[in-house]
Amino acid sequence: MEETILISQSVAILVDGNNIERSLENENKDQNMMINFDALIPRLLGGRGLNRLIYFREGKNISSKLAERLHTKYHGSVRPCHKSADIPLSIKATQLSSKVDSIIILSGDSDYVELVRHLKSEGVRVEICAVESTTAQVLREEADYFHPILKEDCFSLSQGTTKKKTRR
């Protein structure tokens, strides 16, 4: 007889929106792909409790539809960043480290290696979720767990949808 183990963990999900958007663009050159959070978040949580969901994005052109969806469905928020998300995301992760058991960072950027090391030294489980082909190997090795973003975690924006291009 198999015993059922209840895992009670509080999880924060921090998204480097620009990194994930670029990775999806590189991976799917012919399509305008976006993350389907309704598919991805339950898979990432695996029954654990969501404490916080924050989508960091550089620039002013942030989809109000995305912000509304994340707020309504997950009590999440979108935070515009002056330049890259690295520093604001790192500060927020450090602030949350004493309030959660696990932090899932959606980014494959090697700039987060030192953050991952610091969070782990504070006793936080750190998971990385990103497009496998664009994720720095050192980041994957440093994390406690790696979740690849799968095709099922995305949707393609229809050709009729207009999307403003932002300068990088």
Residue spans per domain, the chain: 21-155
Using a pLDDT cut of 90, give the percent of the chain over it. 66
Residue 95 buriedness (CB in 10 A; 0-12 / 13-18 / 19+): exposed
pLDDT at position 112, please?
A: 97
- d(C-alpha 127, C-alpha 11), whole Å: 10
CATH number attached to the domain at 21-155:
3.40.50.1010
pLDDT at position 61, please?
A: 73
Residue 30: partners with Cβ closer than 8 Å, 6 or more residues away: none
Backbone CA torsion sign across 153, 159, 164, 168: positive
Please list the ranges in the chain whose pLDDT falls under 50.
159-168
- The helix/strand/coil state of 76 is coil
pLDDT at position 158, please?
A: 61
C-alpha neighbours within 13 Å on the C-beta side of residue 144: 17
**124 token code pair:** 């936080």
